[in-house]
A and B are shown apart, each in its own frame.
Chain A
């Protein structure tokens, strides 16, 4: 089994798990469930971006994963601040 084939199989599995979190985001009953699903999906996709950069052997692709990880963290922070201010999901 080639190393590149192993990387490709890992990348397809990562994208499949991102689709599973997309299903959870689609039918999650409450809003905090969906916010956590979004956060998990962005983390999984950042890992997939790094893996794709390793497969195509181009170092520019790693920068996209870095920028996306930082900015998705800020977006999740904004959603969490909104949910705390509106008292959603707090018993």
Chain B
């Protein structure tokens, strides 16, 4: 397995993961599930920046996407009324 073939396999896996997590984040009605799917989306997007040789952008995306938006969305959901569906 040379490097270009391996890079192609990696790109296909990352693309499938991005598509699946974006569809889950849009379609699911549960708010916590949407927040978790957004965390997964940001994780796979950070991996994509990482594979495309931009580690500084990957660090920024990881910091903003993994920690900050997840915490902010959860704090916002916690302050709403109890309309969200919790299984």
Residues of A in contact with B (beta carbons under 8 Å apart): 5, 8-9, 11-12, 15-16, 18-19, 22, 25-26, 29-31, 34-35, 38, 41-42, 45, 48-49, 52, 58, 60-61, 63-64, 67-68, 71-72, 74-75, 78-79, 82-83, 85-86, 88
Contacts and interface: CB of A to CB of B under 8 A. Distances in A.
Contact of B16 (A19, A61, A68, A82): A19
Shortest Cβ-Cβ A-B pairs, 9 listed = A71-B67, A75-B70, A71-B66, A68-B62, A8-B6, A78-B71, A64-B58, A60-B55, A74-B67
Contacts, number: 106
A89 to B, nearest CB: 9
B9 interface: yes
Interface of B: 1, 3, 6, 9-10, 13, 16-17, 20-21, 24, 30, 32-33, 35-37, 39-40, 43, 46-47, 50-51, 55, 58-59, 62-63, 66-67, 70-71, 74, 77-78, 86-87
A31 B20 contact: no
Contact of B50 (A16, A25, A52, A85): A52
A48 B16 CA distance: 17
Interface residues of B, dominant DSSP = helix
Nearest to A28: B33
A67 B36 contact: no
A30 B35 CA distance: 14
